[in-house]
Amino acid sequence: MDALVFALLNGVIYGLLLFMVSAGLTLIFGMMGVLNFAHASFYMLGAYFAYALQGLVGFAPAVVLATVLAGAVGAGVERFFLRRVHRHGHAHELLLTFGLSFIVAETIKLLFGNQPVDYRIPPALDVAAFVVGSQQYPAYRLLMGGVALAMFAVLYLLLTRTRVGIIVRSAIYKPRMVEALGHNVQLVFMGVFAVGAALAGLAGAIAGAFYTTSPNMALEIGVMVFVVVVVGGLGSLGGAMLASLLIGVMTSFAVGVDRSLADLFAVVGARDWAEGVGGLLTLKLSSLAATLPFALMLLVLLVRPSGLMGSKN
């Protein structure tokens, strides 16, 4: 029972972390059709900014500043890079963001070195929240989850209840009409991109202290974020939340399952044959925990390509 509770809790918190990073990406995609390969780079930038500033201003102000800086970088990227290549088509935008992700990763390596850096949770926050059975549950994870939920709530309210939100949502569907009505759509695009980048930066600043902050951070989380966005539905905030939680919980539970397809065959008495065949049939689910999200993505793409909660268009 304890194990189940822990697995659920761990899965949910990890899923919320994925949501924090993918929320921005799904908004950017929904709005501008740009699949931003550099999104995970904003995550990494947020962590490094916070690390660099932590010594000067303390943890909480560093996190806030890192978020703002990441947003500024995002605005700059949109204004000076993406806008130029927008008219050449999706392939060029994608490749541009890919090149940018290279540049960001290599520049960070240049300035901070290849090793993981010493960016840690401040001792004040490094406490246990509660104890279940023999295991402690760290308070910082709950903080991460809390920030993610707050982010979701703020974004949702912004998009549905404020004037800015209405403009943003209508710009997703009918940008030319919105422009004709007198709104500065280019500014809206830049704003959305900046907010998306800032959210990823916030996620990085918070998670980087808990996990590791190294130049490979972007690569590590980058692919998973894509899986989340695709499974949830490109452009859907609720979909991103659902998909993140699903993937987080699935990965967490899979670790505890030491069974393979051969065990399934055992039900019909064909276990020995399955083990003789080997290969795919004897792979344990627990060792495939990080591979399952891709299988999920493939399944979703084939059965429901617009994602779990995406709109069909």
Partner 1 sequence: MIHLRQSIVPMALFAAAAAQAAPVKIGLLETLSGPQASTGQTYRSGVRYAVEKMNSAGGWNGQPVQLVEFDNQGGPAGASDKLKAAIADGVQIVVQGSSSAIGGQITDDVRKYNLRNPGHEIVYINVGAEALELTGERCNFHHFRLTANAQMRTKVLVQGMKQVKALGTKVYSINQNYSWGQDMERAIVDNAQAGGYQVVEKTLHDVNKIQDFAPYIAKISASGAETVITGNWSNDLLLLMKAAKAGGLKAHFGTVYLDQPGNITNAGDLALGHFVAHTFNAEAGGSDGERFVADFTAKTGHAPVFVEPQAVYGLEMVAEALRHTKPANGQLDVNAFARAMETTRVKTPMGEFSMRAADHQLMMPLVVSMVSKDAKYKADGTDMGFKPVKVFSAEEASVPVQASCKMQRP
Partner 2 sequence: MAHMRTSIPLLLGGVAVLVALPLLLSAGLLNASVQMLIAALFASAYSLLSGRAGMLSFGHAAYFGVGAFATVHAMNALNGTGLLPTPLLPLAGAGAGLAFGVVAGWFATQRTGTAFAMITLAIAELLHALAPQLRGWFGGESGISTMRMPAWGLNFGSTTQVYYLTLAWVLAALALLYFHTLTPPGRLTLALRENEHRLRFLGYDVHGLGVSAFAISGLFSGLAGALQVVSNESANYVVFDAGVSASVVLNSYIGGVTAFLGPALGAALMTFFGYAVSDATQAWLLYQGVIFVLVMMFMPDGLVGLLAVIGRLVRTLGIRAAPLMAGWLLAGLLLVAGGVFLVELVQRLCSQDYRAMARVGEAWPAVRLLGREWLPAAAGTWATVLLPLAAGGGLLAMVHGAQRRWLTEGAK
- Footprint on residues 207-246 left by partner 2 (CB under 8 A): 223, 226-227, 230, 234
The site partner of 64 among partner 1, partner 2, none (C-beta below 5 to 8 Å per kind) is: none
Phi, psi torsion values for 234, nearest 5 degrees: -65, 120
Shortest spacing between CB 14 and partner 1, in angstroms: 4
Beta carbons within 8 Å of 80's beta carbon, 6+ residues apart: none
| Angle in degrees, CA 116, 118, 119, rounded to 5 | 105
Q: Are 309 and 229 in contact (CB under 8 A)?
A: no
Pick one of partner 1, partner 2, none as the site partner of residue 10 (Cβ within 5 to 8 A by kind): partner 1
Q: Is 96 in the site for partner 2 (CB under 8 A)?
A: yes
Nearest of 291, 172, 307 to residue 230 by alpha carbon: 307
Least distance in Å: CB of 203 to partner 1?
12
The DSSP 8-state label assigned to residue 122 in this structure reads: -
Judged on CB neighbours under 10 Å (0-12, 13-18, 19+), 313 is exposed
Dihedral of CA atoms 265, 11, 238, 73 in degrees, nearest 10, equals -120
307 CB contacts (<8 Å, ≥6 apart)?
230, 231, 232, 233, 234, 236, 239, 243, 300
Q: Quick one: which of 150, 155, 140, 142 has its CA closest to 12?
A: 142
> Which positions from 23 through 62 interact with partner 2, judged by CB under 8 A?
35
Candidates 8, 76, 81, 275: give the one binding partner 2 (CB under 8 A). Answer: 81
Residues in contact with partner 1 by the rule CB under 8 A: 2-3, 6-7, 10-11, 14, 17, 109, 113-120, 128, 131, 133-138, 140-141, 210-212, 214-216, 219-221, 251-253, 255-256, 284, 286-291
Quote the CA–CA distance of 233 and 142 in Å, as a whole number.
Answer: 27
**Residue closer to partner 1, measured from CB, 13 or 234:** 13
Q: Is residue 259 part of the contact set for partner 2 (CB under 8 A)?
A: no
Give the count of residues interacting with partner 2 (CB under 8 A): 45
Is residue 75 involved in binding partner 2 (CB under 8 A)?
no
- The size of the chain, in residues, is 313
Residue with Cβ nearer partner 1 (53 or 185): 53
Residue 99 touches which of partner 2, partner 1, none (CB < 5 to 8 A by kind)?
A: partner 2
Q: By CB under 8 A, is residue 270 in contact with partner 2?
A: no
91 is a contact residue toward partner 2 (CB under 8 A): yes
Q: Which two tokens stand for residue 171?
A: 């710009």
Q: Minimum CB separation from partner 1 for residue 258, in Å?
A: 8
Q: Which residues bind partner 2 (CB under 8 A)?
A: 35, 81, 84-85, 88, 90-92, 94-96, 98-103, 105-107, 110-113, 223, 226-227, 230, 234, 278-280, 283, 287-288, 290-291, 294-295, 297-298, 301-302, 305-306
